[in-house]
Structure 1
Amino acid sequence: MVVTFFLLIIYLAFISLGLPDSLLGVAWPAMQPDIGAAFESAGLLSMMVTGGTIVSSLVSGSLIERFGTGIVTLISCLMTASALLGFSFAPSLFWLILLAIPLGLGAGAVDAGLNNYVANHYKAHHMSWLHCFWGVGATLGPIIMSYSMGADNAWRDGYYTVSILQFVLVFILLLTLPLWKIVASQHQPQGIQDVHTETDSVSRGEAMVQKRGNPLQIKGVKVTLLVFLFYCGVEMTVGLWGASFLVGTRGLPLETAAVWVSMYYGGITVGRFITGFVTLKINNLILIRAGQVTAIAGAVLLLLPLHPFLSLIGLIVIGLGLAPIFPCMLHETPARFGRAQSSRIMGYQMAVAYTGTTKLPPLFGIVAAQISIGLFPVVILLFALIMMMSSEKVNRILYKSGKSTV
């Protein structure tokens, strides 16, 4: 019972992580003229947020080891809530850039640690549902912002509302803080048997070699990092620039575009909820491949010069396709590369994922400002194709090493 409630707390923490992730993209068409910023400045803000996230994810292991997961989670949410409150009062781009630093730092430290914990101690459906709860937060964010902007274009009210919700989550985490120590003393790790056996990925002797060596030298790790890079390139480029594309190219009102982007995140959320059940019958590798094909199909639908309503369908299809990829890739980490290095590789994966979030959407923003936002579906399709080709290369490497049957 206590262990189940502990899992719910982790889910709650991922709602907190998801809430701010989708706000900037839907609010930017209103924020840009209000603060007098350049169009591509949204990319700079996104870069600052995810830059802080990269730093904190790389040091997450030592922070959690020293202070405990509960304290790190609490402080992470507190930093995020405070930064969002600051966003609602920020008078200029300069202040938004400063506030983006604690916003990113607050989001990153807990992410890698919780992902590694669930990958090692829970079955695949729990990982999908964990990231489904991130999608709950990411879906609620644009809905809240859309409601605020629909009234009087008050993007500041949207950020203020989300900050209050974050502070509520902080209060809940504070009340349940003693539970983390209780679970730590009572819940013994279930071990890799709940995911895969150690021999599914590496022999005991090879695991000892991996424990002493550089995890980047393990076959398939570097190419796997490339998959994470371009996965986040797709996910966050759609989230950041999707509303601008719909407004600038499809001629939709701001509030309508915000709702449509919210439905994109809703596709990710619903898809991950369904994936949790599907993993009981279908393995992770098949789900990853199916998701990539679906995301590519959605990008093609966006690219075609059809009725604007089909752009909504394309966004939802992309969201549904992305749904299983990230959690299934994370859950495969111990099985593919062994438990001995899974925590370090998980940290590298999260850092590279955030690098994709940091670099690729701002890069597209620069290109769009110089050429046209109409390139949006072309770039999304390109990122998705690179992601799938890299993933297939990983599968071939693991198959030759006897670590995969797909």
Structure 2
Amino acid sequence: MTSSTTAPKTDYLVVVIAYLSFVVLGIPGAMLGIAWTSEQWPSIQKTFNLGLDAVGALFITTTIGYSLASVFGGRLFGRFNSSSIFLVGALISAAAFLSYAFWPSWWLIVISGVVAGLGSGMLDSGMNIYFAAVFNARLMNWLHASFGIGTVIGIAMIQKVLGAGGRWETGYIIAAGAYLVVAVLFLVTRSHWVNVGRGTHEEGTHAGISARSTLRLPLVWIGLLIFLSYAGLEGVGTQWTFPLFNRGRGIDPITAGLWLGILQGSFTAGRIFFGFILAYFQPRTLIRACSLLLIITTLLLIINPIPNAAFIVLAVYGFMLAPIWALMVTYLQERLGPLHGANAIGFVVAAAGLGIGILPGLAGFLANRSSLEVVPVILFVLAIAMAGLYEISVSRRLQAWLLPTTT
């Protein structure tokens, strides 16, 4: 980085606190997969007497809040100190998740989802902006691995709470407490955080090219669909693995929760592992290999040939999904270049947020009207769609159409 805001040397106190914030960021979403529905344990669905697909409303409202924070993230950094943005995001998140535990109505929780998404989005998009401006790519990679660690902790924590006879509300109280701890850390280390506002790379990346011009490129729309599919593979897998095996296939809640933890753990391990080897392989080779194995694993989830060994399939699924995000971002950046690349990355991240917000809810809607066995079918379709769209994007015959030379 050549930005004037780049720190002369790495402040590892800031790095550690950033990683901790992403660990906390991963807890609530993963926890919801178990807290939402369980045959043997108290659940949100039972508390409010809801249908299986009602969780879709919460996904939509959190996505609205998250998208607002993401869209205005650059402007926030132009007006406020970095540490202040992170502090407010953590406090907003803490307040929202604490309210989940005490609201007497499901729809009040749904409304609070906008606030939760806003706070989480300030931390997520804000920390990505910060790391891109101040730190190197390897530290950025470990930042996202920290999120995966948070998902594993969230699953283990809510499973422990419910297994000990507690209620789902306790999980959200703990999550809120974790956000408060992070907020305190942001407060006491505020002088360590570099301000990445005016004059950073964020403002220069979009100069001379409009969003409309970028959206005229067919490759960008293919990228939007790829990231939408990827988000579905991640979001649907996280939200519906536990219900599929617990309610749908009769696996006891301890084992089903463990299997969900294996999925998230392999996803985290994959991000760490591929972070070391990405430089030694062609991105196209890795994308194709991972996509093929995702198709195979989702097909095996449908067939379920060895029910008691399904956790192995989940482990491979999570591991193969892990590098796709980074590989696809790099691929689009290289294909579109510096003029269109920045706009395009913003668009595909928004598409992924839309996928996380809509596709798990759609899966719940379909499962409620058929059975939970529709979940692996959805994953299979998404895996094929993602692989097919990528092949379209690299097709030599279509390059003149995908990237017109006149733009």
The AA in structure 2 aligned to 1:50 is T
1:278 lines up with 2:277 in the alignment: yes
SS of residue in 1 equivalent to 2:395 = helix
In the other structure, the counterpart of 1:195 is none
In the other structure, the counterpart of 2:116 is 103
State how far apart, in whole Å, the 1-side matches of 2:342 and 2:123 are.
Answer: 13
1:12 lines up with 2:20 in the alignment: yes
In the other structure, the counterpart of 2:260 is 261
1:41 lines up with 2:49 in the alignment: no
SS of residue in 2 equivalent to 1:131 = helix
In the other structure, the counterpart of 1:3 is 10
Shift of 1:104: 0.8
Structure 1 residues 198-239: Cα deviation after superposition (integer angstroms, max 9, x where no partner)? 9xxxxxxxx976468622124521111111101011111111
State how far apart, in whole Å, the 2-side matches of 1:184 and 1:58 are.
Answer: 15
State how far apart, in whole Å, the 2-side matches of 1:377 and 1:334 are.
Answer: 31
In the other structure, the counterpart of 2:30 is 22
Shift of 1:85: 1.3
State how far apart, in whole Å, the 1-side matches of 2:83 and 2:111 are.
Answer: 26
Identify which of 125, 130, 136 aligns with 1:112. 125
Q: Kindly tell me: are residues 396 and 111 of structure 1, through their superposed partners in 2, closer, same or farther at Cα, counting changes over 3 Å?
A: farther
In the other structure, the counterpart of 1:133 is 146
In the other structure, the counterpart of 1:236 is 235
State how far apart, in whole Å, the 1-side matches of 2:114 and 2:273 are.
Answer: 34
Q: Kindly tell me: are residues 295 and 126 of structure 1, through their superposed partners in 2, closer, same or farther at Cα, counting changes over 3 Å?
A: farther
The AA in structure 2 aligned to 1:389 is G
CA contact (8 A) 1:51 1:354 kept: no
State how far apart, in whole Å, the 2-side matches of 1:119 and 1:287 are.
Answer: 24
Q: Kindly tell me: are residues 398 and 328 of structure 1, through their superposed partners in 2, closer, same or farther at Cα, counting changes over 3 Å?
A: farther
Shift of 1:72: 2.0
State how far apart, in whole Å, the 1-side matches of 2:252 and 2:84 are.
Answer: 42
State how far apart, in whole Å, the 1-side matches of 2:131 and 2:330 are.
Answer: 8
In the other structure, the counterpart of 2:5 is none
Shift of 1:7: 3.9
Q: Kindly tell me: are residues 222 and 132 of structure 1, through their superposed partners in 2, closer, same or farther at Cα, counting changes over 3 Å?
A: same
CA contact (8 A) 1:211 1:340 kept: no
Identify which of 62, 76, 82 aligns with 2:75. 62
TM-score, structure 2 normalization: 0.86
Identify which of 180, 186, 211 aligns with 2:193. 180
CA contact (8 A) 1:35 1:93 kept: yes
Q: Could you list the runs of 4 or more consecutive aligned residues of structure 1 that deviate by over 4 angstroms after TM superposition?
A: 116-124, 182-185
Aligned CA RMSD, in angstroms, stands at: 2.9
1:93 lines up with 2:92 in the alignment: no
The AA in structure 2 aligned to 1:175 is V
In the other structure, the counterpart of 1:158 is 171
CA contact (8 A) 1:267 1:316 kept: yes
State how far apart, in whole Å, the 2-side matches of 1:271 and 1:254 are.
Answer: 25
State how far apart, in whole Å, the 1-side matches of 2:327 and 2:224 are.
Answer: 14
Structure 1 residues 46-67: Cα deviation after superposition (integer angstroms, max 9, x where no partner)? 2221222122212222222222
Structure 1 residues 246-275: Cα deviation after superposition (integer angstroms, max 9, x where no partner)? 112220222332222122111110100101
1:77 lines up with 2:85 in the alignment: no
State how far apart, in whole Å, the 2-side matches of 1:154 and 1:170 are.
Answer: 25
Identify which of 35, 50, 58 aligns with 2:63. 50
**Structure 1 unpaired stretches of 5+:** 193-197, 199-206
Shift of 1:22: 1.0
Structure 1 residues 157-184: Cα deviation after superposition (integer angstroms, max 9, x where no partner)? 1221122112111111222222223788
Q: Kindly tell me: are residues 208 and 45 of structure 1, through their superposed partners in 2, closer, same or farther at Cα, counting changes over 3 Å?
A: closer
State how far apart, in whole Å, the 1-side matches of 2:78 and 2:335 are.
Answer: 24
CA contact (8 A) 2:92 2:116 kept: yes
State how far apart, in whole Å, the 2-side matches of 1:285 and 1:124 are.
Answer: 19
SS of residue in 1 equivalent to 2:245 = helix
Shift of 1:343: 3.9
State how far apart, in whole Å, the 2-side matches of 1:188 and 1:37 are.
Answer: 47
State how far apart, in whole Å, the 1-side matches of 2:18 and 2:398 are.
Answer: 34
State how far apart, in whole Å, the 1-side matches of 2:19 and 2:398 are.
Answer: 33
The AA in structure 2 aligned to 1:346 is I
CA contact (8 A) 1:124 1:279 kept: no
